[in-house]
């Protein structure tokens, strides 16, 4: 068995891992690169394998950095199945068409303003590509091994990171490798804890927070403190949020805080049609989380849902205190950009970032204290307070990653640390090496390992 790291090596985005065995090949995850331009350009580079020759894709979860290349893969000739959990498919039905829409918007904007060297600038993929790729999806139950290519089986188990998120073990007759996907936290208020690792010869583990320990903070109280700061000074709070997962947790916290009288009863707007659709999915996938029917109902009612672009833009004319939740989570696109333009210049206001901000995104720049933020080709001074919610992460921290790995029934022949910025991956590698004494490697982009020989090719 051979394993090639075609993404999420030295960075947190672009998860793509090619597994080859006996003349067959599958891809585990098929994500977009995001963040720095040099990374985003990889989305446009020729594929390192022939899409026609790929037997299947196995998808750990729906986030775009794991799924967002699928429409292009299908357009390039992939004709196999895409295997994933039920909720992952439902979320992809929301996320992939939206991703295509953003690609089309980018191309339109570049053409209108003459940004691109290419005339005309074309989208990476279109809505039609996204719709066509959704027809290739096949859903699989947790712990039901499925043959995904001749001689290769996949088995999913719960990762606790997002609705439907999984870890997946790929096994041939001789060799097995477990991919952590993105791993959640053991005590998430909404999702079930990650299940223990399935036994495998090799482990491929994420390291988003491989160099960090999450603070022991009650996420509701942390959110309450920030919201009170902004409302006390009469400001507007803009929360760029991932439409799926984070937005729902925030809605639940806001509802609980309001009912206990811990924050002012301000109007709350959920300005992301995608987030609205995703919120409704929680009621349909009750096995995938810990929320009661009542919680789901309250989550749906915690905010005024903003549907049309006109309603969205109307919010920007208002100056009274309010809370706007809008995608995208790293302010790299979406409706939140209009709200940032309107509110980032006033020191009364608060931009509250939630979740990991990949380097190169506007979210990361604002957190670093950038004096201006560039949106739609113009620079806007950042005078609003910029804060970050640290407690409500959807990723395990370094201690939690190690604790999870140790629960496995056997020590892997090698552990590959991926899906982290270089410092984070190196910090986690060091801990596997020094604390657990496990063989461990940080693979580089495009490295191929022969897993039968346990050697870099």
Of 68 and 123, nearer to Zn ion (C-beta) is: 68
Nearest approach, Cβ of residue 383 and Zn ion (Å): 32
Give the residue from 180, 178, 181, 183 showing the smallest Cα distance to 153: 178
Nearest approach, Cβ of residue 160 and Zn ion (Å): 11
Of 180 and 326, nearer to Zn ion (C-beta) is: 180
Cis omega (within 30 of 0) for bond into 235: no
Nearest approach, Cβ of residue 8 and Zn ion (Å): 11
* Residue pointed to by tokens 């709350």: 268
Nearest approach, Cβ of residue 229 and Zn ion (Å): 29
Q: Please state whether 165 falls in left (phi above 0), alpha (psi between -120 and 50) or beta.
A: beta
By CB under 5 A, tell whether 29 contacts Zn ion.
Answer: no
Contact between 172 and 166 (Cβ < 8 Å): no
Of 180 and 231, nearer to Zn ion (C-beta) is: 180
Nearest approach, Cβ of residue 341 and Zn ion (Å): 28
C-alpha torsion sign, points 37, 27, 71, 306: negative
Cα–Cα distances (Å) from 297 to 197, 283, 288, 303, 398, in that order, read 33, 8, 16, 11, 34
Contact between 113 and 377 (Cβ < 8 Å): yes
Chain centre distance of CA 387: 20
Of 1 and 165, nearer to Zn ion (C-beta) is: 165
Nearest approach, Cβ of residue 32 and Zn ion (Å): 12
Of 60 and 312, nearer to Zn ion (C-beta) is: 60
* Residue pointed to by tokens 């706007």: 324
Of 98 and 182, nearer to Zn ion (C-beta) is: 182
Angle, CA of 123, 357 and 363, to the nearest 5°: 75
Site size with Zn ion, rule: CB under 5 A: 2
H or E segment to which residue 440 belongs: strand 440-441
Site for Zn ion in 170-199 (CB under 5 A): 182
Contact between 404 and 198 (Cβ < 8 Å): no
By CB under 5 A, tell whether 385 contacts Zn ion.
Answer: no
Of 160 and 197, nearer to Zn ion (C-beta) is: 160
By CB under 5 A, tell whether 63 contacts Zn ion.
Answer: yes
Nearest approach, Cβ of residue 245 and Zn ion (Å): 8
Cα–Cα distances (Å) from 323 to 11, 295, 327, 450, in that order, read 32, 20, 13, 52
Residues that bind Zn ion (CB under 5 A): 63, 182
């Amino acid at each position: 068995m051979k394993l090639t790291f075609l993404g999420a090596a030295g960075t947190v985005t672009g998860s793509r891992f090619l597994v080859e065995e006996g003349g067959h090949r599958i891809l585990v995850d098929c994500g977009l690169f995001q963040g720095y331009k040099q990374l985003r350009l990889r989305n446009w580079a020729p594929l390192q394998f022939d899409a026609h020759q790929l037997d299947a894709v196995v998808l750990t979860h729906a986030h775009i950095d794991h799924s967002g290349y699928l429409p292009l893969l299908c357009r390039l000739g992939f004709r196999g199945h895409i295997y994933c959990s039920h909720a992952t498919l439902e979320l992809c039905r929301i996320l992939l068409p939206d991703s295509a829409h953003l690609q089309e918007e980018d191309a339109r904007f570049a053409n209108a303003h003459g940004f691109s060297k290419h005339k005309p600038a074309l989208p990476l993929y279109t809505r039609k590509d996204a719709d066509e790729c959704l027809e290739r999806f096949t859903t699989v139950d947790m712990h039901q091994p499925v043959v995904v290519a001749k001689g290769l089986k996949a088995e999913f188990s719960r990762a606790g990171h997002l609705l439907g998120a999984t870890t997946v073990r790929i096994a041939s007759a001789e060799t097995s490798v477990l991919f952590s996907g993105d791993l959640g936290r053991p005590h998430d208020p909404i999702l079930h804890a990650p299940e223990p690792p399935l036994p495998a010869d090799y482990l491929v583990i994420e390291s988003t927070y491989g160099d960090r320990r999450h603070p022991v903070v009650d996420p509701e109280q942390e959110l309450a403190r920030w919201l009170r700061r902004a409302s006390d000074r009469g400001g507007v709070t803009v929360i760029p949020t991932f439409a799926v997962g984070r937005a729902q947790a925030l809605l639940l916290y806001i509802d609980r805080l309001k009912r206990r009288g811990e924050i002012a009863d301000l109007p709350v707007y959920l300005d992301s049609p995608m987030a609205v659709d995703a919120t409704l999915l929680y009621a349909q996938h009750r096995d995938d989380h810990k929320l009661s029917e009542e919680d789901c109902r309250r989550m749906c009612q915690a905010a005024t849902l903003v549907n049309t672009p006109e309603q969205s833009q109307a919010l920007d004319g208002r100056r009274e205190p309010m809370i706007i939740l809008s995608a995208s989570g790293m302010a790299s696109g979406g409706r939140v950009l209009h709200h940032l333009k309107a509110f980032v210049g006033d020191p009364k206001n608060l931009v509250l970032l939630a979740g990991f901000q990949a380097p190169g995104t506007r979210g990361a720049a604002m957190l670093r204290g950038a004096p201006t933020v560039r949106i739609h080709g113009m620079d806007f001074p950042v005078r609003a307070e910029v804060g970050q919610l640290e407690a409500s992460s959807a990723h395990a921290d370094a201690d939690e990653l190690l604790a999870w790995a140790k629960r496995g029934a056997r020590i892997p022949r090698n552990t590959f640390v991926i899906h982290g910025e270089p410092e984070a991956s190196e910090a986690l590698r060091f801990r596997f090496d020094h604390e657990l004494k496990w063989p461990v490697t940080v693979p580089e982009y495009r490295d191929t390992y022969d897993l039968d020989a346990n050697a870099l090719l």
